[in-house]
């Protein structure tokens, strides 16, 4: 094993790993696993020119910048679809600025080729075992959590796609509820590691905020359904355990995406919903999404928001096709939002 010199970047994908544990690295022919931590350096700047650390700061990276990275999969229609390589490899793609690495399978034609990372070795413990983010989860259930039947009111935010305005709508819900005097907890249950989304909810008034990275998952893409439901239920039992509170949850990407669809089809999740917020980029996409929600999942949202809500013309188009109310997640009318959420 070799000593890792100081000056490396520890990204948010390795949220469960303390910097003091990053000491050694060793190259091996081990087949990568979800959550395996590696030490590497940037060899080409592409789509991502920065790395988000575990405090949310974005570090500017250059050719030769060294950092810790985490093997994971990614699903992002506006960016990359990427997977963990099946065998050991010395060079990989940076799938997200949170430090998730893998091999790009497809990319949106409107973005650059991925930033490349040369793997110098797996990050190891003192005994030579490979460090994995899943070994040190930050959320643990006590006996009281497991037996508590009192549940917070769940406000679930979903959308037509990534960049449809879900995070902004979720933050608006946190803002409105906290301004009404309610205790608000916030979570992002699916997606790829990105602290910005949950930090935005924290800034909007959520006293507790977390996501799947707190369990050691760099992303949720291709997780088994049992693991996905475990993430949802464990956060619920730990932080949604007071009927006086609200729990605001965002699901990444669109309602057709694999993991989001799994959760929306689950009775465990559907029976927990107090209010369902649906976000869309435009009126026509919203109308189609409403139909999919109804026909595939048996769900009708309590409100529409997202990018389309910022346009009076889009709102007018929606009014001709649905009676579901719309709230603008940018102007944030407290009385309007509060009526929809309570």
Q: What is the largest CA-CA distance in the chain?
A: 66
CA–CA gap between residue 262 and residue 273 (Å, rounded): 15
What φ, ψ does residue 92 adopt, rounded to 5°?
Answer: -140, 175
pLDDT in tens, 211-265: 999 999 999 999 999 999 999 999 999 999 999 999 999 999 999 999 999 999 9
Residues 42-49: what's their mean pLDDT? 98
Q: Is 253:264 a contact under the CB 8 Å cutoff?
A: no
The first and second tokens of residue 276, run together, are 């369902």
Identify the CA nearest to 99 among candidates 224, 18, 194.
194
pLDDT (0 to 100) of residue 310: 96
Alpha carbon 105 to its chain centroid, in Å, reads 20
pLDDT in tens, 12-27: 999 999 999 999 999 9
pTM value is: 0.96
CA–CA gap between residue 156 and residue 330 (Å, rounded): 18
What percentage of the chain carries pLDDT values higher than 90? Answer: 95
Residue 42 has pLDDT above 70, yes or no: yes
CA–CA gap between residue 127 and residue 303 (Å, rounded): 53
CA–CA gap between residue 50 and residue 260 (Å, rounded): 28
Q: Is 75:191 a contact under the CB 8 Å cutoff?
A: no
Sheet holding 208-211, edge to edge: 208-211, 184-188, 246-250, 153-159, 273-279, 303-305
Instruction: Name the CATH superfamily for 143-341.
Output: P-loop containing nucleotide triphosphate hydrolases (3.40.50.300)
Q: Is 52:99 a contact under the CB 8 Å cutoff?
A: yes
Helix (H) or strand (E) holding 265, with range, is helix 258-265
Helix (H) or strand (E) holding 159, with range, is strand 153-159
The CA–CA distances, whole Å, from 224 to 103, 127, 258 equal 20, 30, 10
Residue partners of 220: CB distance under 8 A and separation at least 6 = 189, 190, 191, 192, 212, 228, 231, 252, 259
Q: Is 190:229 a contact under the CB 8 Å cutoff?
A: no
Question: Where in the chain is CATH 3.40.50.300?
Answer: 143-341
DSSP state of 129: P
CA–CA gap between residue 95 and residue 7 (Å, rounded): 22
Q: Tell me the CB-side half-sphere exposure of residue 102, using CA atoms within 13 A.
A: 27
pLDDT (0 to 100) of residue 144: 66
pLDDT (0 to 100) of residue 150: 84
3-state secondary structure at position 312: helix
CA–CA gap between residue 276 and residue 298 (Å, rounded): 12
Helix axes 166-179 and 195-203, enclosed angle (nearest 10): 20
Q: Is 100:77 a contact under the CB 8 Å cutoff?
A: no
pLDDT (0 to 100) of residue 148: 67
pLDDT (0 to 100) of residue 73: 98
Instruction: Classify residue 183 as left (phi > 0), alpha (psi -120 to 50) or beta.
Output: beta
């Amino acid at each position: 094993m070799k000593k890792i010199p100081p000056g490396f970047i520890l990204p948010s994908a390795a949220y469960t790993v303390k910097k003091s544990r990053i000491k050694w690295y060793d190259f091996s022919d081990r087949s990568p696993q979800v959550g395996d931590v590696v030490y590497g350096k940037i060899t080409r700047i592409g789509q991502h020119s920065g790395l988000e650390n575990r405090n949310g700061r974005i570090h500017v990276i250059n050719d030769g910048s060294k950092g810790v990275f985490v093997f994971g999969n990614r699903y992002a229609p506006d960016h990359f679809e990427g997977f963990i390589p099946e065998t050991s490899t010395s060079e990989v793609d940076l799938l997200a600025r949170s430090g998730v690495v893998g091999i790009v399978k497809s990319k949106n034609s409107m973005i650059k080729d991925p930033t490349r990372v040369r793997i110098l070795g797996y990050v190891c413990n003192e005994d030579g075992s490979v460090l994995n983010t899943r070994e040190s989860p930050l959320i643990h259930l006590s006996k009281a959590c497991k037996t508590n039947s009192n549940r917070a009111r769940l406000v679930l935010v979903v959308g037509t796609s990534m960049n449809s305005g879900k995070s902004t709508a979720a933050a608006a819900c946190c803002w409105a509820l906290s301004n009404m005097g309610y205790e608000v907890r916030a979570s992002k249950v699916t997606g790829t590691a990105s602290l910005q989304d949950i930090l935005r909810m924290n800034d909007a008034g959520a006293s507790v905020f977390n996501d799947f990275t707190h369990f050691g998952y760099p992303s949720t893409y291709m997780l088994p359904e049992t693991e996905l439901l475990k993430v949802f239920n464990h956060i619920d039992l730990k932080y949604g355990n007071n009927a006086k509170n609200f729990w605001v949850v965002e699901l990444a990407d669109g309602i057709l995406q694999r993991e989001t669809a799994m959760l929306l089809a689950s009775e465990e999740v559907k029976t927990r919903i107090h209010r369902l917020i649906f976000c869309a980029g435009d009126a026509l996409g919203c109308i189609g999404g409403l139909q999919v929600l109804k026909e595939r999942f048996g769900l009708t949202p309590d409100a529409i928001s997202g990018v389309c809500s910022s346009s009076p013309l889009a709102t007018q188009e929606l009014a001709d096709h649905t009676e579901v109310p719309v709230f603008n997640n940018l102007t944030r009318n407290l009385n309007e939002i509060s009526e929809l959420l309570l």
